Amino acid sequence: MSIALHGMGVSRGIAIGKVHIVEHNQLEITEYPIDEAQLEVEVRRFETAIALTRQQLRAIRDHIPAATAGDIAAFMDTHLLMLEDSALTQEPKRLICELKCNAEWALKLQRDALVNVFDEMDDPYLRTRKDDVDHVVHRIQRILLKQTPLRHEVPDSRLNGYIVLADDLAPADTVLMQHHGIVAFATEYGGPTSHTAILARSLGIASIVGLHQARRYIRDDDVVILDGTEGVVIVDPDDRTQSHYRKRQKQEKRSYALLIKLKEAPAVTHDGVTIELQANVELPKDFAAVHKVGATGVGLYRTEFLYMNREAPPDEDEHLRAYVDVLKALNGLPVTIRTLDLGADKQVDGGGRQAGPVPSNPALGLRAIRLCLKEPSLFRPQLRAIIRASSMGSVRMMIPMLSNIQEMSQVMEMIESIRDELHETHIEFDPHMPIGAMIEVPAAAICADVFANELDFLSIGTNDLIQYTMAIDRVSDEVNYLYDPLHPAVLRLIHMTLEAGQKAKIPVAMCGEMAGDTRYTRLLLGLGLREFSVHPAVLLEIKQIIMASRVNELTYLAKKALKSRSGIDTAELMQHINQRTH
Ligand code: PEP
Ligand code: MG
């Protein structure tokens, strides 16, 4: 009898094949004492394990196929870089000597300390970076414990066409899988923003994460269907189910081939309205994807990564180098650099960690521009670097989390004084660099006209706008049922912001997740949105919907949505509209 298991689809596509289960046999790490006289030997044993780990990772990196080298090499480099970091290479040695304990135990203690730091982060993307620590530590531990390599690490053509099932997988595993011709994978743990999931998307391997307890129901060599789009695995499917999925497989391949063809096509609606489609970027490695999907620029470049995993904040030169690299990578396309959005529960050492107790409402606390204005020594170097970068390419500066116009005036004062300084010291900058605000606090949306009259552009951050409008913490599982982009209050705030932009004749973009959700594209067009900034992975799908839409029909829908009683009513209305194609 066939059964279906549900997880979270993180990389689209359908695969049908036999299963190969990867058992990362749980490493049993125990503590044992080391005699004073043997401590040096234990430290050397640790150093040898680090050197061997480095060798293994380099060997994997050197075998990455050229066609997929960019992203994957960057992931492998991240892991290799960790092996240069004193947190992993020196601190365990100190612990071995101080606690007089074995290397495995010292490494485990250090791993736990590092993972705790990541667990405290608010940003789900950064929280999952602890997976990287685990993957590297796991590899060192296996070497220390003299474990044999896992089967999928040994070249084996018999795995060709297989679907891998594991508790968790490291990016290095994913790369190796591609060598073996593995067509899909599912893991019991992991999130959609883990490196492994991101890699799977860039490799085009169908995959599912969070397939809890799957190994209780699936055995080696069972035949399964893995649907990475829906997040479903069907175990032991009958002939009818198989032929249904084979048909879908063909359809998906056809529609992907069509989507890629849209890369060069202008994003123009069926009735001739041109839409700007830009990309959101979190890390320097994402810039390759911007070109791959034909984005017309970067509408949101989050800069928080610059402050992570370090003791002191980056200085002006480091900021500047980062922005110059961005401009080079973009090769003439414009970039909107968002100033740092740290603080409250998004504490990082490099962001000037606040002393004292964590506030009880961190989302409402000292965050983003509030922190920047309180700590000018943190903010100024970034401002100076962005202003200087403006002379080297097409740069816009965007300020997050503004609640009132005085905050913006304070920022403008700082910008003016920096411009004076630069002018006096003959350092170049573009005096016309556009400066804009993120509209993500309801107070700012309601007063969007005030901001629009004083700024060059606005960008709606729906992730926060919805959190604050609905009075829910966006990271809380218990209240996320209230996280509703279609709530009339949210739609009205978006509409007010768009109208304010139109009146002041300045562009208004949307860079929150709502802009990248295909269910809302038509509604947003109807509300008047003309600039979307979305994750590169969804950009072409959004373009496809735009090209098949008529704005003049959607304006009517949007008016109805603005008057609707609830998000549920609007969802029903949209289902109907979304089905229509032109
Ligand atoms: C938003 O709030 O919608 C946004 C884009 O910013 P972030 O998700 O970084 O808070
Ligand atoms: Mg935000």
Q: What is the reported pLDDT for 305?
A: 76
Task: Kindly report, residue by residue over 486-519, the tens digit of the pLDDT.
Answer: 999 999 999 999 999 999 999 999 999 899 888 8
Rounded CA gap, 334 and 457, in Å? Answer: 14
Q: What residue spans in the chain does CATH classification 1.10.274.10 cover?
A: 36-144
Catalytic residue among 195, 319, 495, 535: 195
- In 262-302, which ranges are continuous DSSP H helix? 287-292
Mean pLDDT for all residues in the chain: 87
Does the pLDDT of residue 376 top 70, yes or no? yes
Q: Long-range pairs for 179-182 at CB < 8 Å and ≥24 separation?
A: 179/63, 179/65, 179/155, 180/152, 180/155, 180/156, 181/157, 182/20, 182/152
Count the alpha carbons within 13 Å of 406 in the hemisphere toward its beta carbon: 2
Q: What is the reported pLDDT for 70?
A: 58
Query: Which atom of ligand 1 approaches the CA of 302 most closely?
Result: 9
Nearest ligand, CA 534: 1
Task: Kindly report, residue by residue over 39-63, the tens digit of the pLDDT.
Answer: 999 999 999 999 989 888 887 777 6
Measured from the CB, is residue 463 less than 6 Å from ligand 1? yes
Going from the Cα of 125 to the center of ligand 2, the distance in angstroms, rounded, reads 14
| Catalytic site includes residue 511 | yes
Does the pLDDT of residue 353 top 60, yes or no? no
Residue closest to 444 by CA, chosen among 460, 425, 431: 460
Q: What is the reported pLDDT for 154?
A: 46
C-beta of residue 199 within 8 angstroms of C-beta of residue 212 = no
Q: What residue spans in the chain does CATH classification 3.50.30.10 cover?
A: 3-23+150-254
Does the pLDDT of residue 356 top 60, yes or no? no
Task: Kindly report, residue by residue over 357-375, the tens digit of the pLDDT.
Answer: 556 688 898 999 999 999 9
Rounded CA gap, 186 and 166, in Å? Answer: 7
Return the CATH fold of 268-348+364-577: TIM Barrel (3.20.20)
Does the pLDDT of residue 239 top 70, yes or no? yes
Measured from the CB, is residue 341 less than 6 Å from ligand 1? yes
Ligand 1, from 283, 304, 440: best to mutate by most atoms within 8 Å of Cβ?
440
Task: Pick the most confident of 168-177, 215-224, 295-304, 410-419.
Answer: 410-419
| Low-confidence winner among 9-18, 41-50, 197-206 (lowest mean pLDDT) | 197-206
**Sequence-ordered list of residues with C-beta below 8 angstroms from that of 222, at least 6 positions apart, any chain:** 18, 19, 235, 236
| Catalytic site includes residue 495 | no
Residue the block writes with tokens 């017309």: 296
Does the pLDDT of residue 130 top 60, yes or no? yes
Q: What residue spans in the chain does CATH classification 3.20.20.60 cover?
A: 268-348+364-577
Measured from the CB, is residue 464 less than 6 Å from ligand 1? yes
Measured from the CB, is residue 462 less than 6 Å from ligand 1? yes
| pLDDT class of 114 with cuts at 50, 70, 90 | confident
At 268 the three-state DSSP class reads strand
Virtual CA dihedral for 214, 215, 221, 226, nearest 10 degrees? 20
Please tell me which residue, 134 or 522, carries the higher pLDDT value: 522
Q: What is the reported pLDDT for 12?
A: 83
Q: Whose CA is nearest to atom 8 of ligand 1?
A: 463
Cα four-point dihedral sign 124, 126, 132, 134: negative
Please tell me which residue, 305 or 160, carries the higher pLDDT value: 160
Rounded CA gap, 159 and 119, in Å? Answer: 35
Going from the Cα of 105 to the center of ligand 1, the distance in angstroms, rounded, reads 39
pTM for this entry: 0.66
Q: What is the reported pLDDT for 345?
A: 47
Which two three-digit tokens encode residue 565? Answer: 């009683």
Angle among Cα 316, 319, 320 to the nearest 5 degrees reads: 85
Measured from the CB, is residue 302 less than 6 Å from ligand 1? yes
Which two three-digit tokens encode residue 337? Answer: 């650099």
Cα four-point dihedral sign 324, 314, 375, 349: positive
Measured from the CB, is residue 57 less than 6 Å from ligand 1? no
Which two three-digit tokens encode residue 350? Answer: 């490099």
* Pick among 1.10.274.10, 1.10.357.10, 1.10.1740.10, 3.20.80.10: CATH of 36-144: 1.10.274.10
C-beta of residue 491 within 8 angstroms of C-beta of residue 527 = yes
Q: What is the reported pLDDT for 461?
A: 95
Q: In what order do the strands lie in the sheet with 206-209?
A: 3-6, 232-235, 223-227, 14-22, 163-166, 184-187, 206-209, 8-11
| pLDDT class of 384 with cuts at 50, 70, 90 | very high
Domain 3-23+150-254 has CATH 3.40.50.10470: no
Measured from the CB, is residue 122 less than 6 Å from ligand 1? no
Ligand 1, from 464, 510, 533, 534: best to mutate by most atoms within 8 Å of Cβ?
464
| Low-confidence winner among 286-300, 304-318, 329-343 (lowest mean pLDDT) | 304-318
